[in-house]
Amino acid sequence: MITRRRFLIVTGSAFAAITLTASQIEKVLAAFAAPAIDQQKVKWGMVIDLKKFNELPPNKRKRVYDVCRDIHNIPVFPNAKDRVEWIWPADFEHTFPSQFNQFLPEEIESLEVPILCNHCENPPCTKVCPTGATWKRGDGIVAMDYHRCIGCRYCMAACPYGMRSFNWRDPRPFIKKINTSYHTRTKGVVEKCTFCVERLEKGMQPACVETSEGSFIFGDLNSLESEITKVLKEHYSIRRKPDLGTEPKLYYLI
Amino acid sequence: MIEYAIRGGKYYWSWIAFLAIIIALGGISYYYQYQNGLTVTGMSKEVSWGLYIGNFTFLVGVAASAVMVVLPAYLYNYKKFKRVTTIGEFLGASAVIMCILFILVDLGRPDRVLNLVLNPRPTSVMLYDFIVLSVYFLLNLVIAWTVLAYKEKNKGYTTWLKILIFIAIPWAISIHTVTAFLYGGLVGRPFWNTALMAPRFLAGAFASGPSLLIISLLAIRRYTNFDPGYDAIKKIGDIVAFAMVTNLFMIGAELFTVFYSAHPHHLEYFTYILFGIKEGGWVYARFVPWMWTSLILGIAAAIMLIVPKVRNEPKYLAIACGIVFISIWMEKGIGLIVPGYIPSQWGPVVEYWPTIPESLIALGVWGVGILVFTVLAKVAIGVTLEGEKIEEEVVEEEEVVEEVVEEVVEEGKEYRCELCDAVFTNLDECCEHAEKEHKIAKASCDMACVEVAPAEKQYKCELCDAVFTNLDECCEHAEKEHKIAKASCDMVCAEVEE
C-alpha cells in the first residue's frame, strides 16, 4: 500500500540521496581534474641565502619559523622531547659537518641555518615506509598521508637529516590557535614539511618563502627560466650531506 | 593434547599466576600508553626507537635459534636432539609472538596495523620482515604441534611435514637476515650501515637463543620428570661456545674498522657508546657502563664456554648461558638501537632511557612470551612422557632377552683371532679359521688364537672423565662432585667398552 506518508518519505529521501551523491561526485571529479600545474613537468626546489637571511633582524627570522607553525597547526609541547617541527634553526657546524673546519670565518661559523625537509630526489624515507603513507610526488615533493601512517617511525630512522617529527601525544590541545582551513593531526603519526602543497595548488609560494623577505627562493628546478635555477647557476651552493646520494632539493648559499 | 596444559601441580599454577600478574601490569601500562600516546615512553624526536624495538631485535635472534637444534636433528639425523626439537620450536614460536607484540606496542597507530597488508610497499624491508616473521611463526607452531600429535599417536612423519621442516631451516636464517637489513640498509645511520650487520646478528642469535634453550632445558630437567638428555644439552653448549666466540670476533672486527680508520661519521657513535661524547660543555655517557658491562660479560662467558671442563658441568654451563643471554640482550637490544640515534642528525645530543610504564609494558610482553612457552612446553613434555611410558614397557621386555644371551656367552672362554679380530667360542674353531683364512698350520695356531678374558665393564663419568669399575661408585661420585641425583645418574655414567 502506498500511503501519502510513505510516498513522501521515499521520494524525499531519494531526492536527498541524489543531490548528496551529485555533490560528492562533483568533489571527487574536482579532485581528479587536471591541476593548474603539471606535476610531472615541474620539480620544486628551494634556495636559502644564508647571508641575506642572517641579515634580517631576529624577530623577522623568528617570523619565518612561526608562520609555518601557525598555518600548519603545529603544536607546542611543554616537554622538549615531544617536539613537532617542520622548520627550525640550527648551527652551521652541525648542519654541514663535512664543510666545517676550525678556521671558518666568524660570520660563517655563527650563521643561523634554517633546516626543513630537503625533499630529496632519492628520499630514503619513502623507500622504507611499509604502507606507502609517505611518497615522492611527480613534482618532487615528499608528501605524507596522515590517514595511512601506522606510526612505526621507520621513516624517522631512515631520514639522514632528522627532519621528521612524530606525534608522541595528542597535538590538538597544544595548538595555540587552530587554523580551520588546514588539517590537524592525531597522536601516533609522523609529520613533516610539505613545501606547502596546499598553497602551491592555489598558485602561492610556501609560507616561509613569503615571509623570508627574499632570502628564500622557491621555484621550478626543471625550468631554465626560473629565478631559482638562475641563482643556482650564478652562485656556489651547498647541500646537506650530499655524499649520501639522496640529492636534496634544498640548496644553501653562503 | 592441550589438556596437558591444564593439568599441573602447585608450582605450575603459582608460576602461571606470577606470569599473569606481570602480564596484567603490562596490560594496565599499555592502556595508559594507548590513552596518552607514546609520550609516556623515554623516546623523543631525536631517539625515536628504544626499548621496544631493541627487545624486538633481540628476540628475532632467539626465535631464529630454534633452527640450531632442528637442523642437526633433521638434516643430519642427530638423534640426541630429537627429544628437544619440539621444545626448541616452541621456544621459537614464543619468541616470535613477543617480536610481534613488541612491534604492536611500538606503533603510534596500532589500529591501522592492517595497512601493512592492505597497502604494502614492496621497497620496504619492514614489509618483508613482517612476512618472514609471520610465516616463521606459523611454520614453528604447525611443525611442533604436528610432531607432537604424531608422537601421541605413535605415527611417523608425513611427507608434507618433512617438507615444512626443511623450509623452516633456511627460513630461520632469513628472519634474522631481513631484520638486520632493516637497519643495515639505512644510508643515514652510519652506526647500522654496515655489511657486517646480518652476520653479526646471526652469530649473536646462535649464541643467545641456544643459551635460553639450555637454561629452559636445565630448568625443565630440574622441575619436571622430563629428561632432555644431558648429551643434547652439552651439544647445544658447544654451539653456544662457537657462536659466542664468533660474535665477539665480529664485534672486534667492527671496532677495529671504526677506530683505526676513524671516519668521523662512524666514529661518533662508537665513541658515544664506549667513552661518551662531549657536546656544549656536557659529557653524554649514559650508555658507557651499559656497553662495557655487556662486553666484559660477553668475554667472561666466552672464556667459561671455551674451557671444556667448565662447559660440561651443568651448573657452570647454566651460569655461562645466563651471562651470554644478558650480555647479548644488552648489546643486540637497546645497545644496538639507541646509539644509532645519538648524536642526532642535526647536532644536539639527546640521550634515552626507558620510563617505568615503558619498562612495565616490555616486561608484560616478556610475560606473555614466557607464558606461551610454559604452556607449549608443558604440552610437549606431557605428550613425550606419556609416549615413553608405553615405549619403556616394550623396551624392558627386550632387555630381559638380551641379558640371557649375554650370560651364556660369558660362561665359556672366548678366543680371538689376532690377525682379523674374529671371535670364536672354542679353540678348535679358531684354529680352523686360522688355517683356512690365514694359512697358519693348526700346530702353530696358538700364535694366532689367543684366549680373551670376558671384558671387565668400566663406567666413565662423562663430566670429568673419571673411570669406575662399577656403576654405583660412579653414581656416588656424580652425586658428590656434580650434584646429580642418583636417580638420573645414568645420564653422566656411561659404560665404557674396553
**In this structure, are A71 and A118 located in the same domain?**
yes
**Residues A211 and A159 reside in one and the same domain:** yes
* Structural domain of A171: 44-253
Give dist(CA A209, CA A207) in Å, integer.
Answer: 5
A115/B346 CB distance under 8 A: yes
Residue of B nearest to A152 (CA): B107
Residue A188 lies in a domain: yes
Option in B39, B112, B188 nearest A160 (CB): B188
Query: Model confidence over A99-145: pLDDT tens digits?
Result: 888 899 998 999 999 999 999 999 999 999 999 999 999 999 999 99
Residue B440 belongs to a domain: yes
Residue B471 and residue B432 in one domain: no
What average pLDDT does this structure show over B141-167? 82
Q: Which of chain A's residues have a Cβ under 8 Å away from the Cβ of B188?
A: 124, 158-161, 241, 244, 246
pLDDT in tens, B330-371: 999 999 999 999 989 888 899 999 999 999 999 999 999 999
Does residue A162 lie within any of the structural domains? yes
Cell (9 digits) for A30: 574536482
The CATH code of the domain that includes B482 is 3.30.160.60
Taking CA–CA distances from B350, the nearest residue in chain A reads A81
Domain-located, residue B398: no
- B208 and B86 within one domain: yes
Q: Which of A109, A121, A187, A193 to mutate to test the interface with B (most CBs of B within 10 A)?
A: A187
Q: Are B95 and B369 in contact (CB under 8 A)?
A: yes
A29 with A48, same domain: the answer is: no
How many structural domains comprise chain B? 3
Quote the CA–CA distance of B139 and B79 in Å, as a whole number.
22
Is there a single domain that holds both residue A200 and residue A81?
yes
Q: Is residue B89 part of a domain?
A: yes
- Residue A63 pLDDT > 60: yes
- What's the whole-number mean pLDDT along residues A145-173? 95
The verdict on a CB contact (< 8 Å) between A149 and B350 is: no
Mark whether B339 and B483 lie in a shared domain: no
Structurally, how many domains does chain A consist of? 2
What pLDDT does residue A24 have? 64
Pair B246, B372 in one domain: yes
Q: Average pLDDT of B254-263?
A: 94
CA quadruple A10, A13, A16, A22: dihedral sign: negative
Nearest CA in chain A to B339: A157
Tell me: do B254 and B304 sit in the same domain.
yes
Give yes or no: residues A129 and A249 share one domain. Answer: yes
Both A77 and A180 in one domain: the answer is yes
| Residues B496 and B379 both lie in one domain | no
Greatest mean pLDDT range, A1-5, B13-17, B444-448: B13-17
* pLDDT reported for residue B157: 77
For B420-456, write each residue's pLDDT tens digit: 777 777 777 777 777 777 777 777 777 677 776 555 6
Residue A38 lies in a domain: no
CB contact under 8 A, B347 and A159: no
Q: Are residue B351 and residue B437 in the same domain, yes or no?
A: no
CB-based burial, A109-146: b 16+ in 10 Å, e otherwise: eebebbbbbbbbbebbbbbbbbbbbbbbeebbbbbbeb
pLDDT(B407) > 50: no
Alpha-carbon dihedral angle through residues B31, B34, B36, B41, given to the nearest 10 degrees: 90
What number is the ipTM of this complex? 0.82
Query: Is pLDDT larger for residue B459 or for residue B327?
Result: B327
The answer to whether position B404 is within a domain reads: no
Q: Are residues B364 and B464 both part of a single domain?
A: no
Q: Is residue B315 part of a domain?
A: yes
Q: In chain B, which residues have their Cβ closer than 8 Å to the Cβ of A148?
A: 112, 115, 119
CATH number of the domain within which B382 lies = 1.20.1630.10
B115, B186, B344 member nearest A157 (Cβ)? B186
Which member of B39, B106, B113 has the closest CB to residue A169? B39
Answer yes or no: do B38 and A168 touch at CB < 8 A.
yes
Does residue B172 register a pLDDT over 90?
no
Domain that holds residue B110: 2-391
